Structure 1
Amino acid sequence: MRIAVTGAGGFVGTALCDALAGEGRQVLRLVRQLRHPRDMAVGHLGPDTDWRVLEGVEVVIHAAARVHVMDETSGDPATAFREVNVLGTRHLAARAAAMGVRRLVFLSSVKVHGEASRPDRPFTVDDVPVPEDDYGRSKWEAEQVLWEVAAKTGLEVVVIRPPLVHGPGAKGNLARLMRWISLGIPLPLGGIDNRRSLVGLDNLVDVLRLCADHPGASGQTYLVSDGRDISTPALIRLLAAEMERRPRLISVSPRWLQRMGRLFGRGRELGRLCDSLQVDDSHLRDHLGWVPPVSLETGLSRMVSGAYHHRPV
């Protein structure tokens, strides 16, 4: 089976391509700009991308996207997200179907459900999506255009909605937490009693590989996680232990923290540390018989080992 992976140079794409190649599969690594001889550049992802490179490909795993960023630089982020994530995805799916590609596995996001789940009420695949930002809305719209293409062409579509992904090379809040722990900065997060679902890079790659050819995956949408939800203070303690650092957690009222976050324009960023965001991935586990091959603790350990050369304090 010949598999094409878009976004092959990214955080998930690189690990996925390496795993597929390690199984002896033929992998077409598609990137925006050529940086390695093994890759193939297709340029900007959008409604005019040339997809003739898909000749002879059976499965496309679509991991390329305009990703969510903390410090937006575009003057019109909604349009920028839509051009890449919606129009680009529609064009890819239509061209793939026309060229005989059998299946497209789409890496979506839990953000199609929103920014936070209610206490003890994890998101499920049956919930009506309510995305709250331009990135989440673009991913939700991309899912819908994929189902439209599938209905018209017979292309098999599988949608995967991961929560926060951890692993070597992870950025965003996880990288910031590790940096703060490393520097010994006191963190006013000790009083937070939330629950967050995470998924390790190895586990997400395992699901994508499974969905590439499992006969039962066609037409399905799956949430995925490590299977153990964790609070922000517990996450910090686990990371600190792996880094051989002492977690300097201070208990502060979550309401006060959120008020300060809004005051300084960091409300959404702080919300990702304070709010709960849980997913119920039982549909994936029951339907495909999937079990995470790597535990949350092992995944976090691999992330720390790949990003931080610790020393005793």
Structure 2
Amino acid sequence: MSESRVLVTGASGFVGSALVAKLLADDRFIPVSAIRGLSRGVLPVGHISYDLESGISVEALQGIDTIVHAAARVHVMEGSGSDDLEAFRRANVEGTLRLARSAVQAGVRRFIFISSIKVNGEHTSPGKPFTSSDLPAPVDAYGVSKSEAEQALRALALCTGLEVVIIRPPLVYGPGVKANFERMLGWVYSGVPLPFGSISNKRSLVALDNLLDLIVLCIQHSAAPGNTFLVSDGEDLSTTQLLRCVAQSLGVRSTILPVPQRILSMCFILMGKRALATRLCGSLQVDISDTREQLGWTPPVKVQQALDAVARHYQGTKKR
């Protein structure tokens, strides 16, 4: 079987860099990294310059079989603190469509779009997880832009035959994770008492290794094109359970105080932190049964195993 040339956009990011490393270790693929600001020129295993708003030339995409589009404008990009919807649209909608059109012209066969569960919404009701067939209900500018990008890609696929695959992950964690997850690691590692011991919500997360496993499967699986796949670890946790699992992985004694969830949520809201209250106290579950059935896929890594890897990396950085 011949090797498949795969272009990964956002190859310097958390997901993109790990995906390139995984593809390099798999002799079925020749990865090509698309990283912002590099000089142009495709190499067998190399880099091409890519910017969300200027795109990639058709010439640079010649010989590429599959594009995994992991680059995106997230909440804050370099040089900007704006969450303006038009800025998100320029990068995540127009930039994605520009790349996909160039892919069609270059003869690229498949386009895998890393979207977001935010297309479905911000929270779920008890016992009613998000499904891939739900009507989109994005709340913030990022979610809206991802939803609009999905729609544009589906329309392009109908007109051109480009094989579009959409993957919507929830929060992705793994070794080197940043932002809120890294802060949570710091809280637990420090041993500071945390008032999150009575939270009974359910949240779906996805370990980086599980997401990468699904992406690689979608590169070649014949049933992938034309579908939207939700992804998670398949093990939903409450905030309380997650903190206890993290403490176990870090090998520290956790001090998690049982403050009633309603009181905790009200305190955050009064402090003007409603979004944080939703993340800590609200539920966000995804149903991955369609992904399992259509692709025959099962998350290969268990939550505690994934958290152990995160903890080892985190503790290693603290010892330097």
Report the TM-score when normalising by structure 2.
0.91
Partner Cα distance (2:269, 2:89) in 1: 27
Worse-matched range after superposition: 47-56 or 230-239: 47-56
Partner of 1:23: 26
CA drift of 1:310 comes to 9.3
2:298 to 291, 296, 299: 291
Residues of 2 paired with 1:206 and 1:298: CA distance?
A: 15
Aligned to 1:97: 104
Question: Which residue matches 2:239?
Answer: 232
Q: 1:64 is matched with which residue: 55, 71, 90?
A: 71
Show the counterpart of 1:32: 36
Q: Is the 8 A contact 2:9 2:70 kept in 1?
A: yes
Q: Show the counterpart of 1:9.
A: 12
Equivalent in the alignment of 1:277: 284
Runs of at least 5 residues in structure 2 that lack an aligned partner in the other structure? none
| Secondary structure class of the residue paired with 1:308 | helix
- Distance of 2:24 and 2:172 partners within structure 1: 22
The corresponding residue for 1:124 is 131
State the shift of 1:166 in Å.
1.2
1:250 is aligned, of 242, 253, 257, to 257
Paired with 2:277 and 2:258, the residues of 1 have a C-alpha distance of 15
RMSD across aligned C-alpha pairs, in angstroms?
2.1
User: Bigger CA drift: 7-16 or 252-261?
Assistant: 252-261
| Distance (whole Å) between structure 1 residues aligned to residue 314 and residue 82 of structure 2 | 33
- Aligned partners of 1:33, 1:253: CA distance in 2, in Å? 49
Contact 1:161 1:223 in 2 (8 A): yes
Confirm or deny: 8 A CA contact 1:225 1:279 kept in the other structure: yes
3-state SS of paired residue (2:102) = helix
Instruction: Find the counterpart in structure 2 of residue 166 from structure 1.
Output: 173
Secondary structure of the 1:169 match is coil
Identify the residue that residue 248 of structure 2 maps to in structure 1: 241
Structure 2 CA distance for partners of 1:254 and 1:64, relative to 1, 3 Å? same
Structure 1 match to 2:199: 192
Moved more, 20-29 or 247-256: 247-256
- TM-score scaled by length of structure 1: 0.93
1:137 to 140, 144, 153: 144
Structure 1 residue 180 displacement after superposition: 0.6
- 8 Å contact from structure 1 (residues 224, 284) kept in 2: yes
Verify: 1:206 aligned to 2:227, yes or no: no
Determine helix, strand or coil for the equivalent of 1:309: helix
Separation of aligned partners in 2, 1:270 and 1:284: 30
Identity %: 46
Structure 1 residue 80, shift from structure 2 partner:
1.5
Distance in 2, Cα, partners of 1:76 & 1:217 = 32
The 1:231/1:263 distance shift into structure 2, 3 A limit, reads same
d(CA) in 2 for partners of 1:295 and 1:269?
A: 26
Letter aligned with residue 15 of structure 2: V
Query: 2: distance between equivalents of 1:4 and 1:176?
Result: 32
Task: Give the Cα–Cα distance (whole angstroms) in 1 for the partners of residues 58 and 104 of structure 2.
Answer: 11
| Residue pair 2:55, 2:99 contacting (<8 A) in 1 also | no
- Greater mean deviation of Cα atoms: 147-156 or 252-261: 252-261
1:103/1:175 Cα in 2 relative to 1: closer, same or farther (>3 Å)?
Answer: same
- Provide the C-alpha distance between the structure 1 equivalents of 2:5 and 2:56, rounded to a whole number of angstroms: 20
* Deviating more after overlay: 143-152 vs 49-58: 49-58
For residues 170-226 of structure 1, give each alpha carbon's deviation from its aligned partner in whole angstroms, at most 9, with x where no partner exists.
122211110011122211111110011111101100000000111111100000111
> Which letter maps to 1:111?
K
Q: Following the alignment from structure 1 to structure 2, what is the Cα–Cα distance between the partners of residues 76 and 114?
A: 17
Q: Is the 8 A contact 1:47 1:87 kept in 2?
A: no
Query: In the aligned structure 2, how far is the partner of 1:116 from the partner of 1:214?
Result: 31
1:18 shift after superposition: 0.8
- What is the Cα deviation at residue 76 of structure 1? 5.3
Judge conservation of contact 2:174–2:207 (CA < 8 Å) in 1. yes
User: How many residue pairs are counted as aligned between the two chains?
Assistant: 310
Contact residue 58 and residue 105 of structure 2 kept, 8 A = no
CA displacement at 1:263 relative to structure 2: 2.9
Stretch of structure 1 that moved more, 41-50 or 191-200: 41-50
Unaligned runs of 5+ in 1: none
Give CA deviations for 1:10-40 in whole Å, capped at 9, x if unaligned: 11111111111101221111111349x9652
Q: Secondary structure at the match of 2:67?
A: strand
